[in-house]
């Protein structure tokens, strides 16, 4: 089985301000570069990665594409474009021509209005993404899912990837089954769209540093049920996930959640789906 980590980050603090890093992120407020991840990939038998933006700047996307150019393990890059800019369509077209650029990700989780992405002014941007063969990574929380459902109905030809299972609040939901069920119903609606994929990633951080397997496995199994082995992509969210555990923890837990799958189905989740979704 060829394993691909469909969601990881590199950053260098002098490249951007990474304003999302707050005091609770102190442990990861340092540079993380390919040499830091390489031994973890080798130990886990991961052959390549999808490198995802972590700051809303063109400068950071340039930085990631340069890393991809010189790092064979980076198979594709999900970058950032300012959807509100007057030249947004031209920028999408320019980025689409850059080697290894495979998708774009506005950082919706940091935008207060959950319906922000539905602005009619963004229609030409989405049309350009479809024309250029780019995917749309959705960095969202559960309250964003209704708008995402509208977006998926509006653009059935746009490949959409829900990052981190829409970040279910696993730590807060330990004693609130109703909230978990509401998230499940919203994700069920998203899964009905055949162009929508979902990443099995980021959940360790959502469960918190004192997580137990029982905090995560129900949500992981729900995602597998909804999207099936053909539209679920395994990723680590390294190095953010190191706030709650390590690479081996997440890989072992993922293997446990997917234990009921056959070898070919596991191969889809752990690698082939990333190749298909990001056109590797």
Which of 172, 109, 174 lies closest to 145 in space, CA to CA?
A: 109
Burial class (CB in 10 A: 0-12, 13-18, 19+), 67: middle
Burial class (CB in 10 A: 0-12, 13-18, 19+), 153: exposed
Share the mean pLDDT of the chain.
96
Question: What's CA 35's distance to the chain center, in Å?
Answer: 22
Residue 27 is predicted with a pLDDT of 95
Say which residues have a Cβ less than 8 Å from residue 66's Cβ, sequence separation at least 6: none
Q: Worst-scoring range by mean pLDDT, 13-27, 103-117, 175-189, 198-212?
A: 175-189
Query: Element (H or E) spanning 161, and its range?
Result: strand 160-162
Query: Element (H or E) spanning 221, and its range?
Result: helix 213-227
Q: Has this prediction a pTM greater than 0.95?
A: yes
H-assigned helices in the chain:
34-44, 58-70, 88-96, 123-132, 145-154, 177-191, 203-207, 213-227, 247-257, 263-267, 273-277
**Could you report the per-residue pLDDT of 158-200, keeping only the tens digit for each?**
999 999 999 998 887 777 777 788 999 999 999 999 999 999 9
Residue 178 is predicted with a pLDDT of 78
Contact 273, 231 (CB under 8 A): yes
Residue 5 is predicted with a pLDDT of 98
Contact 117, 145 (CB under 8 A): no
**Could you report the per-residue pLDDT of 46-101, keeping only the tens digit for each?**
999 999 999 999 999 999 999 999 999 999 999 999 999 999 999 999 999 999 99
> What is the end-to-end Cα distance of the chain in Å, rounded?
16
3-state SS assignment for residue 253:
helix
């Amino acid at each position: 089985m060829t394993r691909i980590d469909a969601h990881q980050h590199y950053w260098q603090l002098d490249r951007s301000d990474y304003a999302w890093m707050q005091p609770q992120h102190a442990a990861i407020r340092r540079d993380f570069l390919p040499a830091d991840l390489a031994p973890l990939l080798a130990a886990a038998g991961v052959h390549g990665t999808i490198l995802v933006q972590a700051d809303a700047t063109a400068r950071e996307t340039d930085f990631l594409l340069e890393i991809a150019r010189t790092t064979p393990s980076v198979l594709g890059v999900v970058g950032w474009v300012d959807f509100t800019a007057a030249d947004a369509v031209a920028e999408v077209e320019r980025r689409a021509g850059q080697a290894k650029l495979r998708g774009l990700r506005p950082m919706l989780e940091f935008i207060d209005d959950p319906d922000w992405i539905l602005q009619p002014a963004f229609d030409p941007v989405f049309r350009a993404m479809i024309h250029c063969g780019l995917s749309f990574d959705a960095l969202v929380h559960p309250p964003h899912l209704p708008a995402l459902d509208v977006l998926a109905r509006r653009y059935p030809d746009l490949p959409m990837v829900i990052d981190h299972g829409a970040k279910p609040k696993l730590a807060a939901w330990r004693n609130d089954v109703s909230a978990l069920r509401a998230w499940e119903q919203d994700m069920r609606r998203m899964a009905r769209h055949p162009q929508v994929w979902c990443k099995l990633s980021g959940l360790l951080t959502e469960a918190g540093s004192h997580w137990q397997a029982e905090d995560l496995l129900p949500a992981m199994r729900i995602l597998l049920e909804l999207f099936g082995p053909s539209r679920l992509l395994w990723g680590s969210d390294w190095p953010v996930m190191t706030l709650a555990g390590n690479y081996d923890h997440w890989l072992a837990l993922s293997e446990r959640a997917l234990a009921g799958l056959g070898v070919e189905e596991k191969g889809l989740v752990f690698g082939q789906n990333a190749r298909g979704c990001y056109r590797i």
